[in-house]
Chain A
Amino acid sequence: MKKRLSDIFCVFEIHLARLRAEAGPFLMAAIVFPIGMYLFASGIAANHREAADNTDKLRFLAASIAFSLSATAIGWTGYLLLENRFTNRLKLFATLPVAASSYVFGILIFAAAQSAIGTTVLLIIARILGVQPSFGGAVGYLLLALIILLSLLSLCGISVIIAARVRSFSAGSLMTDALGAGMILFAPVYYPAETLPFALRSVSRLLPTTYIASAVNKILSGNDGIGIEVLILSAMAVITLSAGFWQMNWREN
């Protein structure tokens, strides 16, 4: 158990050391694009009324946090997993006495650290932009941390599956980019669910981002009734991570 924890931390450390030299893509995925989307959505809302009210702003902030989590967990983490596989860096880990699950958990912790940074920065920027979340205290932060964790587990499982299954780096990269953004665009996070066509509404119910945005919005609004979202995200995390671990095998056939 001690060795396993140490392995997980080492994988995290290796990727953290790497991030120090390559922070650009992370900042773009986790902060710049989500802030851009927040401003865009606020601008559109303001166009219809005099100004977007705080309820709208909180919804857009929650959506942007979901976007940041999706971009970090699927776009950026998926890219790292793909890069490790297709540049043969994965062989460095696969030829060591390290379990494949330790490698995946190390990457998950790395994604969690990035998401925590991304979410914190977004909250700070939102405050500067005049958004006033109604949450506070330890419970609010704990619930937010729980949702971030469940989001990552459910979204990173998808990255692991893609990275393990695709046949080329370009195909995988395109897929993670498209899913990272698509998970947001096809989920009712920046707009109400009622505006979606009926068929897409059903699809959106299968997307983790729908529940992530809903949970974050409730937390930011001071409502801690997020039991359903926690339950659904937990189930999604179990399903996607189990599938990811099943696909991720050091030993080829």
Chain B
Amino acid sequence: MSQSKTSNTIAVRVSNLVKHYQNGTQANRDINFTASSGEAIAILGPNGAGKTTFLRQITTELKPTGGTIEIFGIDAIANPVAAKQLMGITPQEAGVFETLSVRQHLELFGKLKGLKKVEARMQTGELLDALELTEQANKPVGALSGGQRRRILIGLALLGRPPLLILDEPTTGLDPASRRSVWKLLQKVIKTGTTVIFSTHYLEEAEHLSQRISFINAGKIIADGSLSELRARFPQRYKISFLAGDANFTHLNAPSVEYFDSFSEAQDYVAEQNVSEYQISAASLEDVYFSLVGEHLNGNGDGGNALKK
């Protein structure tokens, strides 16, 4: 459905993007980024890394200091309205009209997206099902939970079936059940071939939903690739998490972590150190993340060395 709107195979092309705020903060520094049509890409990075600034420039909410942004070949800086016609956007913080019902939100904002009244009504029905909000359809939004409101915002972005979906931390603040529900919805959207770019702090979410992950730190993309490609950049494939200390340790102790090239090396370490309570597992995205942002799980701050150049 979404592909019919554009034949361009590059959904987003960002070149040499620079954003300096008036207070002197350099939020994005020379970012180059491309998203192919149909890709699902997670943007990861610590707080203040520049993820939201990056996404808000793509969504045309924020004016870049330098560089170019194209959405399916349209210059988003020169033609923001035309670019937004191809995008569904869920901002990190967006309010809803407390006294309007879920149905009113979807129908009225559907019309603002250019849908005819009948189409807006039809898509509202479909989205209410997909969002699992049919029962709440006629309730004022003020009476709904945070998770339900977040789903409405995602629903608003999905109206008009845009070929590109941009979500800034779509599940932040949601309980695990609501998060799963949003994941389920996004998986359905991804399956339709919609290009999805989302930022998140949940590594599990990135693993679950995306085909590609871009790490942003200090305003730059410091790594970009599929999960397996990123894992391959982390040479030590196994890790042991164990509770260190004497016999009086409690489970409140943070686990210590050691990394190894092979499973047998990890086993040897267990035997040598006489560790009684431990877990050996494959290095995860979390390990890659901490390695990239220069911080190990145990906080010794030397993680950046573990990466292959």
Q: Are B100 and A251 in contact (CB under 8 A)?
A: no
Q: Knowing A14-B97, A14-B100, A251-B63 touch, does A88 contact B91 (C-beta < 8 A)?
A: yes
Q: Are B99 and A96 in contact (CB under 8 A)?
A: no
Report the nearest B residue to A15, measured CB to CB: B97
Residues on A with beta carbons closer than 8 Å to the beta carbon of B96: 89, 92
Chain A positions 11 through 25: 1 when the CB is less than 8 Å from some CB of chain B, otherwise 0:
101100110011000
Q: Are A92 and B95 in contact (CB under 8 A)?
A: yes
Residues on A with beta carbons closer than 8 Å to the beta carbon of B91: 88, 91, 95
A157 to B108 Cα, complex, angstroms = 25
- Of residues 78 through 110 on chain B, the ones whose CB sits less than 8 Å from some CB of chain A are 80-82, 84-85, 87, 89, 91, 93-97, 99-100, 104, 108-109
Smallest beta-carbon distance A148→chain B, Å: 26
Q: Are B81 and A95 in contact (CB under 8 A)?
A: no
Stretch at the interface among A2-10, A158-166, A203-211: A2-10
Q: Are B100 and A17 in contact (CB under 8 A)?
A: yes
Q: Are A96 and B113 in contact (CB under 8 A)?
A: yes
Residues on B with beta carbons closer than 8 Å to the beta carbon of A14: 97, 100, 108-109
Report the nearest B residue to A22, measured CB to CB: B99
Max count, chain A CB within 10 A of own CB: residue among B60, B94, B108, B113: B94
Residues on B with beta carbons closer than 8 Å to the beta carbon of A95: 59, 61, 84, 87, 89, 91, 94, 157
A40 to B248 Cα, complex, angstroms = 81
| Choice from B93, B104, B109 contacting A96 with Cβ under 8 Å | B109
Does A94 reach chain B (CB closer than 8 Å)? yes
Does B233 reach chain A (CB closer than 8 Å)? no
| Choice from B63, B108, B109 contacting A253 with Cβ under 8 Å | B63
A185 to B63 Cα, complex, angstroms = 42
Smallest beta-carbon distance B40→chain A, Å: 20
Q: Are A6 and B104 in contact (CB under 8 A)?
A: no
Q: Are B84 and A97 in contact (CB under 8 A)?
A: yes
- Of residues 199 through 253 on chain A, the ones whose CB sits less than 8 Å from some CB of chain B are 250-253
Q: Knowing A13-B108, A14-B108, A96-B109 touch, does A250 contact B95 (C-beta < 8 A)?
A: no
Max count, chain A CB within 10 A of own CB: residue among B85, B111, B112: B112
Residues on A with beta carbons closer than 8 Å to the beta carbon of B94: 88-89, 91-92, 95
Q: Knowing A95-B84, A251-B80 touch, does A89 contact B60 (C-beta < 8 A)?
A: no
Report the nearest A residue to B166, measured CB to CB: A95
Q: Knowing A17-B108, A92-B95, A250-B61 touch, does A97 contact B22 (C-beta < 8 A)?
A: no
Does A39 reach chain B (CB closer than 8 Å)? no
Q: Are A89 and B97 in contact (CB under 8 A)?
A: yes
- Of residues 72 through 95 on chain A, the ones whose CB sits less than 8 Å from some CB of chain B are 84, 87-89, 91-95
Residues on B with beta carbons closer than 8 Å to the beta carbon of A139: none
Smallest beta-carbon distance B300→chain A, Å: 39
Q: Are A251 and B60 in contact (CB under 8 A)?
A: yes
A22 to B98 Cα, complex, angstroms = 11
A14 to B111 Cα, complex, angstroms = 11
Smallest beta-carbon distance A232→chain B, Å: 35
Residues on B with beta carbons closer than 8 Å to the beta carbon of A17: 97, 99-100, 104, 108
Task: Classify chain B's interface size.
Answer: 20 to 34
- Of residues 36 through 88 on chain B, the ones whose CB sits less than 8 Å from some CB of chain A are 56, 59-63, 80-82, 84-85, 87
Q: Are B63 and A250 in contact (CB under 8 A)?
A: no
A98 to B63 Cα, complex, angstroms = 17
A97 to B59 Cα, complex, angstroms = 11
Q: Are A91 and B93 in contact (CB under 8 A)?
A: yes
Does B146 reach chain A (CB closer than 8 Å)? no
Residues on A with beta carbons closer than 8 Å to the beta carbon of B140: 21
Does A99 reach chain B (CB closer than 8 Å)? yes
A10 to B109 Cα, complex, angstroms = 8
Residues on B with beta carbons closer than 8 Å to the beta carbon of A252: 56, 61-63
Does B221 reach chain A (CB closer than 8 Å)? no
Report the nearest B residue to A9, measured CB to CB: B111
A88 to B98 Cα, complex, angstroms = 12
Q: Are A10 and B112 in contact (CB under 8 A)?
A: yes
Residues on A with beta carbons closer than 8 Å to the beta carbon of B97: 14, 17-18, 89
Chain A positions 156 through 180: 1 when the CB is less than 8 Å from some CB of chain B, otherwise 0:
0000000000000000000000000
A14 to B97 Cα, complex, angstroms = 9
Residues on B with beta carbons closer than 8 Å to the beta carbon of A250: 60-61, 80
Report the nearest A residue to B80, measured CB to CB: A251
Does B255 reach chain A (CB closer than 8 Å)? no
Q: Knowing A18-B97, A89-B95, A252-B61 touch, does A98 contact B104 (C-beta < 8 A)?
A: no
- Of residues 223 through 257 on chain B, the ones whose CB sits less than 8 Å from some CB of chain A are none
Does B293 reach chain A (CB closer than 8 Å)? no
Q: Are A251 and B104 in contact (CB under 8 A)?
A: no
Q: Are B81 and A99 in contact (CB under 8 A)?
A: yes
Smallest beta-carbon distance A11→chain B, Å: 8
Residues on B with beta carbons closer than 8 Å to the beta carbon of A22: 99
9 sampled A-B residue pairs with Cβ under 8 A: A10-B108, A14-B97, A21-B140, A87-B95, A89-B95, A91-B91, A91-B95, A95-B84, A96-B112
Identify 10 new A-B residue pairs, CB closer than 8 A, beyond the known A96-B109, A251-B60. A11-B112, A13-B111, A14-B97, A21-B140, A88-B93, A91-B61, A92-B156, A251-B62, A251-B80, A252-B62
